[in-house]
Amino acid sequence: MSVITRDAQRVFPLQAVPYLDVSLDDLFHSMLAIKRANCPTWTDENTSDLGIQLLWMFVVQCVWLKAHLERAKNDCYIGTTADRESMRRLCELVDYQLGSATAASVVVSFTCESGHPEFTIPAGTQVATEEIEDQPAVIFETAAAELVLVTDDSADVVCTHGETVSQEVVGSSDGTTGQRYALRHKPVISQSETVEVYAGAWETWTRVANFVDSEATDKHYRVEFREDKTSHVIFGDGVNGQIPCRGTNNVRVTYRKGGGVIGNVAANAITELLSAVDYIDSVNNAAAASGGTDRETLDHARMHAPAALKSLDRAVTAEDIESLCTDYTSSTYGGLAKSRAFIVGNYAARVAIVPKSGGLPTAGLKSALETYLQERRMIGTTIDVVDPQYYDITIEAELAILPNYSLMTVCGVVRTRLVAFLSPTYQDPETGLYPHEFGRNIYLSDIWSIINNTPGVDYCRVTAPIGDTIVPNDQIAAVGAIVLNGRGEAGVVSFVDTTLEPPLFTGSGKTDTSGMAT
């Protein structure tokens, strides 16, 4: 008898082969069934049989091909891709660039020696946290020079995370179109670079998002952030954007490296003075640093890249203004956690902003953002940047703690989760998004659920707020005070928190509950 049946007798039931969500074993057994129907004398199905091995390799290749086709299909769309390089290329098609890391800022107190004369703390003075094993020092720099008078015992100076790389020569222009130069250090803090080209004298060029509106004589450049965290300075083609003139080592860049959540150091962590500054006895930060964020996540890009395409870098509607605020980041003032725009009449708009560092925005941040938006507004309209209105929520609750759990530790974890729920500057560590919105109501059932679902809590009773809180559309909920009364085997503890410090999270994005049980 023939090993393979004649053509007229072959059986190949396509409907018997599962195509969607099929496992390797399921597909292999489907192929075995087809083999049995068409090759009745092929009875050896031992794994050592050459035919079985070939059939298995064929099935593996089919599953591999299916997985790659599925990934290729997903990588064609912003909404489905899970690959950063694919996302970067897709965003470039809509003129949207994935954001880089932003730098944290903090106020550092410089304590002076007694009997000092009048002196200046220079801009770029470096301070740092203490370097310990397997954890390098986190370096900060003063943002501006600070004059210290003879009568001053100390000086409070704003410092930002990162180090300045001065006048790094990145290459020589050969006069060709579309020249690009890689910066030596990474990661580069967005908007911190100054690009200079030598043409008889050093000239500072202007950064643009793209060359669409650049003329042939405009001395423009743009910056591209790659997925390996390297950064490239790119020049025009002579039609859109001027080409740097030929020269040797005539392109240099000054920029700052650093940024990211590593810069959000705790209070009293900055104790080292790295720069040589006379008359300084010690340095310290009374409050924690804030505002440092890692590079933009894919979830954030999926939400904001389509909005950027819709607004086309123009502030026409309230939604356009909010989209532009989301994309705005200043190397000096950082970025925004939230914004809410309102159209006032026919020719004016008002936008309330919440800085990533929390609290009220500085006058410098409001002025810089206002300039940024005015350049993109319609002719004859105005846009005013104002302080946000916070709707403080005070929470009081009584907790029953399960046996073998630390009262203070459980209360601390509950506090962390409540702050994450209420804080307008809370950033989801996994998605990179700021989930809180203006006008979001706070429901009592959500507060109860957060507390009751914390490990170590047996049950709870929320005494404040006494009911659901309706937040006006132009305000945003914020943490007022948190008062927790815990009762357990060790007795009773009252946990009162009015510091409003941001919570700490582990790298997984989940609350750290290690050590909760005693």
Does residue 144 lie within any of the structural domains?
yes
Same domain for 155 and 264?
yes
Does residue 91 lie within any of the structural domains?
no
Same domain for 357 and 488?
no
pLDDT of residue 511: 38
Please identify, among 363, 387, 411, the residue that sits at the C-terminal boundary of a domain.
387
Residue 136's domain comprises 105-162+260-284
Same domain for 277 and 133?
yes
With a CB cutoff of 8 Å and minimum separation 6, the contacts of 129 are: 137, 138, 265, 269, 270, 271, 272
Nearest 10 degrees: CA dihedral of 355, 358, 363, 367? 0
Rounded Cα distance between 161 and 357, Å, is 13
Same domain for 272 and 360?
no
Does residue 306 lie within any of the structural domains?
no
Same domain for 185 and 321?
no
In 3D space, the residue among 17, 71, 65 whose CA is nearest the CA of residue 57 turns out to be 65
Strand-pairing partners, residue 395, are 482
pLDDT of residue 257: 92
Same domain for 179 and 228?
yes
Same domain for 267 and 153?
yes
Does residue 89 lie within any of the structural domains?
no
Please identify, among 257, 276, 294, the residue that sits at the C-terminal boundary of a domain.
257
Same domain for 493 and 402?
yes
Same domain for 424 and 487?
yes
Does residue 132 lie within any of the structural domains?
yes
Does residue 291 lie within any of the structural domains?
no
Same domain for 218 and 364?
no
pTM: 0.61
Strand-pairing partners, residue 389, are 475
Same domain for 168 and 158?
no
pLDDT of residue 18: 56
User: Which CATH number covers residue 359?
Assistant: 3.30.300
Domains in the chain: how many in total? 5
Same domain for 158 and 172?
no
Rounded Cα distance between 24 and 406, Å, is 48
Please identify, among 387, 417, 435, the residue that sits at the C-terminal boundary of a domain.
387
Rounded Cα distance between 431 and 505, Å, is 14
Residues of the chain with pLDDT below 70 are 1-22, 330-334, 495, 497-518
Kindly report, residue by residue over 268-303, the tens digit of the pLDDT.
Answer: 999 999 999 999 999 999 988 877 878 877 887 887
Does residue 99 lie within any of the structural domains?
no
